A and B are shown apart, each in its own frame.
Chain A
């Protein structure tokens, strides 16, 4: 019974926010619902099941709507709701927490780029950026490294582990600036928590002033938190390369050497530059001990 009912709840609503009239085999939905749900003096079995079908979709669509304002701006409000419905139909929630609802959005958009056409790349950049923020908000943190921890290890042997809440992103668009502009025009929306009722359709199709799409440009970004507040920090290409190498377990010496060798910049005091980067990253607590 639970499998049948859950399958009914996971089926998308009609364009008028109602339950589909036909089951997957083409049989009337009313017939299926009446097999396990009693009617009462005001509602038939279909209508009673429909309350739960609607609540499910209102809840999960509302959640994605709130958590992915950037992706919503890229694909457009109405299309976002259709895309989110297709995504959740293919990937129903596999986690006890709604936090993880968008954990396969990038995978979905890569497999079905038509949802974000003609801005496929921008959408992918944005969804990676927004998921990185979910991770940075409440992802795990390990104790940061102290100078004493690495005092006796030469750079040729020193490997530095990065905090798990830190995500490094190489992007083709300045989605950080774009998202800031988007958020400026949006007010905070609060989500219900313990109530199991959703009594209105999701917040789709709200007309808002359009923010100009970002132009193509290479951006290297670290999404992280400091003092439990969320930040995005732009990085020089070489700094990004060093951090990426470190995250792959390459030693500090090799990571720096690779980054400097690959750099096209010539008029740089690399030792001073690299020292200032490492000082900043250490101060931000990005390097951590292995648990």
Chain B
């Protein structure tokens, strides 16, 4: 949705991910960008170059934090060191909202560094929602959880992914970072209609949208973030905007990263879809 409680009542437009290969260009050229999304864990350090870059970026740009290691779905309790460092960074960046993934990834203090799907059960939803609530209260910032792309489904699941996502965010009273590309990737891997997913999540809770590229293989589709956004995902993005309104959108491009201009140009295509859809909705 446009400005809402889950994105700190902001209207941020089109952002791109802040990535190391673009540092030099951004710091030297100071391009006009609506906002940057940073990977929280890359800046949860004690000093040095990462924080120097972040300082400079914060002086000139709006920044939103996106995490990859909170693991709300892990059965483990929170890693206290991780939470403490995350809170320090939240205070530092003054991020209006914070996002991380609806997934698990650590067990007994050992980390997979992956975003693993969860069994869609009511018990898991309750456990995950409790952890999100705890994190939100501790970090004192709105949280949006992102649907992950997945390559496996569990026998234990009691509901669809979108029902699970809805169950978690309603119980946690948190926002959704709706990753349209992830929905598409998972729909290809699990044979569901991605539009049914888009139509059945609580739209008023969507605080941000992700778009990205993916790769199709013979037997499955991978969420690779190393391509421009493909047509089916743009179509879904247009549909999502029609449903949720003009929402802060971010292009993820994390591998085989091209020039800053190319990434930014790709991201700005979202404006065309958004404007067309919003005009259609208005008329």
- Residues of A bordering B, CB below 8 Å: 1-3, 5-6, 9-10, 35-38, 40-43, 45, 47-49, 51-52, 55-56, 59-60, 92-99, 136-141, 164-165, 190, 192-197, 199, 225, 228-229
Nearest CB in chain A to that of B115: its residue: A196
Is B275 close to A, CB under 8 A?
no
Total A-B pairs, Cβ < 8 A: 153
| In contact, A51 and B220 (Cβ under 8 angstroms) | yes
| In contact, A98 and B113 (Cβ under 8 angstroms) | yes
- Residues of B bordering A, CB below 8 Å: 17, 19-21, 39, 41-42, 44-52, 66, 68-69, 74-75, 79, 81-82, 104, 106-116, 119, 148-149, 151-156, 189-191, 212, 215, 217, 219-220, 222-226, 252, 254-255, 257
- Given A1-B119, A225-B48 in contact, is the A193-B19 Cβ separation under 8 Å? yes
| In contact, B47 and A165 (Cβ under 8 angstroms) | yes
| In contact, B47 and A93 (Cβ under 8 angstroms) | no
Given A1-B119, A140-B47, output 11 extra A-B contacts at Cβ < 8 Å.
A2-B107, A42-B220, A47-B219, A94-B110, A96-B41, A138-B50, A165-B47, A192-B225, A193-B17, A193-B68, A194-B39
Nearest CB in chain B to that of A92: its residue: B110
Listed A/B pairs (11) with beta-carbon separation below 8 Å: A1-B156, A3-B108, A6-B107, A6-B112, A56-B113, A96-B41, A96-B79, A195-B254, A195-B255, A196-B148, A197-B149
Q: Give min CB distance, B92 to chain A, whole Å.
A: 14
Q: In whole angstroms, what is the CA distance A102 to B75 when docked?
A: 26
Contact of B111 among A43, A48, A93 (CB under 8 A): A93
| In contact, B155 and A38 (Cβ under 8 angstroms) | yes
| In contact, B219 and A43 (Cβ under 8 angstroms) | yes
| In contact, B225 and A228 (Cβ under 8 angstroms) | no
- CB neighbours (8 Å) of A225 from chain B are 48-49
- Given A52-B116, A137-B48, A197-B222 in contact, is the A36-B154 Cβ separation under 8 Å? yes
Contact of A51 among B39, B81, B151 (CB under 8 A): B151
- CB neighbours (8 Å) of A60 from chain B are 113
Q: In whole angstroms, what is the CA distance A47 to B153 when docked?
A: 12
| In contact, B47 and A141 (Cβ under 8 angstroms) | yes
Q: In whole angstroms, what is the CA distance A267 to B246 when docked?
A: 77
Q: Give min CB distance, A105 to chain B, whole Å.
A: 16
| In contact, B112 and A195 (Cβ under 8 angstroms) | no
Nearest CB in chain A to that of B250: its residue: A194
- CB neighbours (8 Å) of A98 from chain B are 113
Q: In whole angstroms, what is the CA distance A43 to B153 when docked?
A: 11
Nearest CB in chain A to that of B37: its residue: A194
Q: Give min CB distance, A25 to chain B, whole Å.
A: 19
Q: In whole angstroms, what is the CA distance A98 to B51 when docked?
A: 17
| In contact, B114 and A56 (Cβ under 8 angstroms) | yes
Q: Give min CB distance, B54 to chain A, whole Å.
A: 11
| In contact, A193 and B254 (Cβ under 8 angstroms) | yes
- Given A37-B155, A137-B48 in contact, is the A194-B111 Cβ separation under 8 Å? no
| In contact, A138 and B46 (Cβ under 8 angstroms) | yes
- CB neighbours (8 Å) of B189 from chain A are 40
- CB neighbours (8 Å) of B47 from chain A are 138-141, 165
Q: In whole angstroms, what is the CA distance A194 to B149 when docked?
A: 12
